Amino acid sequence: MKTNDIVRYRVYELIVEISSVSPESLNYCSTSGLVTQLLRELTGEDVLVRATCIEMVTSMAYTHHGRQYLAQEGVIDQISNIIIGADSDPFSSFYLPGFVKFFGNLAIMDSPQQICERFPVFVEKVFEMTESQDPTMIGVAVDTIGILGSNIEGKQVLQKTGTRFERLLKRIGYQAKNASTELKIRCLDAVSSLLYLPPEQQTDDLLRMTETWFSSLYRDPLELFRGISNQPFPELHCGALKVFTAIANQPWAQKLMFNSPGFVEYVMDRSIEHDKASKDAKYELVKALANSKTIAEIFGNPYYLRLRTYVSEGPYYVKPISTTAVEGAE
């Protein structure tokens, strides 16, 4: 990168930071002509510049006035058109991830339904990217699905695509089992985000939806994630525990866990986790189960009491070793 490029990007970064402060500051930056110049680079010929600039434009979309400005200036439409044209551009892999991320962030800030209906190419592209052979593309698609599905409206947008989304989940399940460690972790994060339902939003329809999604991931998803949690990488272990935690307060998942041989014992076993992050992740799972209104009924009282004890003892409790056996040996 040439020095003048670096200076130019730094100026853009500052302009974006300043314009984020208030509508007035955005107006001031806009008058300077620098914002217009930044936006022009988005549609310019240089794909690497494009990739850098989309990150800055994504930062602009974090504020309400920033999003309004981008919409008024026709930038969102332009970005959509570039995604449409990306099919015929051999260099699109340089900037496409950034452009798709832009829409993912826009959707979750604004309204997933409105953005996805107005820019259908965005959802199309994300689905397409999950079928890519390129791990970078798959990673961005998986992250974006996770962002989109992090609230109820976004989940419903995905749900509307029907069996197509179930096929996509199957691919995510496949990647969670077979991809590189880094991509596995991103898949686990996305799955957690998609499957989580806050207790006050657990309608029968939504619970049926998350149950269908879970079973679409793999032929025995509970075993899949348990297998992943047994791998010797704390990040994977925590990622798998996060998936269990996401569904821990949903009755169908509690039944599944209770009926899976050895699963409840695995949850209660403190000797599995050795590092702080893993102990914390396990504690969150136990807490999510213990705090659920349906757990006592599904797991039965003895297990429910053991879960409550685990919670009250905290994440790092170590069982005191009995001394009686030692005394008898003297």
- CATH number of residue 151's parent domain: 1.25.10
Q: How far apart are CA 222 and CA 173, in angstroms?
A: 11
- Cα Rg, the chain, nearest whole Å: 24
Residues 66 and 155 occupy one common structural domain: no
Nearest-5° angle of CA 77, CA 95, CA 32?
60
Q: Is residue 12 part of a domain?
A: yes
Dihedral of the alpha carbons of 59, 117, 121, 211, in degrees to the nearest 10:
90
Residue 320's Cα: distance from chain center in Å?
39
259 φ/ψ angles, rounded to the nearest 5 degrees? -90, 0
The pairs formed by 83-89 with CB atoms below 8 angstroms and a separation of 24 or more are: 83/121, 83/122, 83/125, 84/121, 86/125
Residues 182 and 206 occupy one common structural domain: yes
Which of 40, 73, 106 is the endpoint of a domain? 73
Q: What pTM value is reported for the model?
A: 0.91
Residues 6+ apart with CB under 8 A from 6: none
What is Dmax (Cα atoms) for the chain? 88
Give the tens place of pLDDT for each residue, 170-199: 999 999 999 999 999 999 999 999 999 999
**Residue 130 is part of which domain span?**
83-218
Nearest Cα residue to 257 out of 319, 249, 96: 249
Residue 38 has pLDDT above 70, yes or no: yes
Q: Is residue 323 part of a domain?
A: no
Residues 292 and 170 occupy one common structural domain: no
Q: Is residue 170 part of a domain?
A: yes
Give the tens place of pLDDT for each residue, 140-168: 999 999 999 999 999 999 999 999 999 99
pLDDT at 330: 46
Query: What letter does residue 272 receive in the DSSP assignment?
Result: G
CB 115 within 8 A of CB 158: no
Residues 87 and 207 occupy one common structural domain: yes
Q: Is residue 327 part of a domain?
A: no
CB 18 within 8 A of CB 29: yes
pLDDT at 319: 85
Residues 109 and 168 occupy one common structural domain: yes
Give the tens place of pLDDT for each residue, 266-289: 999 999 999 999 999 999 999 999
CA distances to 3, 140, 175, 198, 234 from 130, rounded to whole Å, are: 37, 9, 10, 27, 26
Residues 250 and 301 occupy one common structural domain: yes
Query: What letter does residue 317 receive in the DSSP assignment?
Result: -
Which of 22, 45, 73 is the endpoint of a domain? 73
pLDDT at 106: 94
Q: Is residue 321 part of a domain?
A: no
Q: Is residue 320 part of a domain?
A: no
Q: Is residue 280 part of a domain?
A: yes
Which of 162, 192, 218 is the endpoint of a domain? 218
Token digits of residue 203? 């309608």
Say how many domains are in the chain: 3
Q: Is residue 108 part of a domain?
A: yes
